[in-house]
A and B are shown apart, each in its own frame.
Chain A
């Protein structure tokens, strides 16, 4: 009897063991997916093809040694200001519009925003969501490439001045206007100058000379120089170059010590953002002083670690998990500052805005239905 007890106990224990292990292991459960965001570190094959397709300007003869490089054959890149230490950021508007992040952001555009877009389409004959291909932001103004064959520039600049410029350029000038504000006061609007090249490139500026310079660069009348963005840097859905001054102007609340380190290193940032699915950001930082640059990389790495620690202490799990994916990758004479924003994270962040828009739209909708 006693011997049989051990055998029965063994059978019961094995059965219990199996039950506990089956429950604990959860074979049917989903494993926690590992977050892996593709980061834009080099040009991909599709981007090489995109680059080839944009080389529409005529080829120039090879330059002699010691001569400045020829202008890029992509009209938009050719129009950009030249020289190191400048800032220009390109947004691939069409690619972003059709990316998951773009779709997500569009759902956040409320009724007023949508009406604004419709108004632009009705007045200018240009649909920003369909006709814009790329948008360039520089400290001096903006440029947009795309399809502007249907644009009604003459109607927009009815009170202004229009002149042809160069082979395919047109310049529209709108003199400053006096606008009467609701409180009865008057305010003078800024002068608006717009240059259009071959119905595919629009240059916005505040003075005609600046716009003319951009058109001169496109048509090869300006002196050659280092383009601010080289062709091999045109990868990602957002890319560009930021000078130290502009970078420090954009990023708020930078510690004075970090500002000083940026200046000492002569740092310049090359930015690439991949938004095809998740959002991956790579900022390649180069500088004139290698030692200072190395120290800057370490300081930024430390700042990321401290930020994550503070987020953890404050219970901000979202920020902590985001900073966990951020890192500094030293590469000898430069370093990459890398950041990953999983789409799931962005969806969570924008969920509130979407609900707000839905609510706002329903209000607008009810107001509209009551409006005769």
Chain B
């Protein structure tokens, strides 16, 4: 809808010209407002993080309220990888099952339950994750407890994006494969999943972008750690970037505050880049 054509307004009556003027003024006002808000957020992060713009920020771990962000960055990536491993099979399987095997009612019900899950506040996942995984199942503050909690939280996004990708595969191709004597398993593997690959990968990236920006489900499942995450899945707490933003910003030490800004900046860029990437792959 490119509307850059020149609009002549001189023939309009005063009332209509006034209305048009107001409409345009208000629209450009909204444009200015959102650009101001966005740049204010970004500028706050950039300016505040300037003292932490140093290589050591990336390569040293945090010590108390100082040091670097290496443990938080690696921790966020580590938790994201684990979450990905858990959520991708569940998401793809759910979407495939409802599309290939489930009855129409079952399909509707499953998608409804999945969408409803997307409306559950993240702190509820954090609370139940803490009580059930950390305490009752005895995982302790750990990467596994955090990843399971995050996976449960982003599951609906994975299900929905996989489903949308699988639906896009033309049903004619599926029917032709059936006519050639393909079994259902073969159709799923070489027609459905192969055809929906881009959409599914894009959806996985978007789901992980959502998981990376979360704090509430992690506070009581991953806790916080000053050292780099080990490969141990249980009983070893993990540091992550959102925790740094939340706690370090409220400290009176300039070094801690700079790290909090830096962590926020990295998060915004990381999540933004992944959202753009995920959307580009899906499109």
Whether both chains belong to one complex is answered with: no
- A residues with a Cβ closer than 8 A to B are none
Chain B residues in contact with chain A, CB under 8 A? none
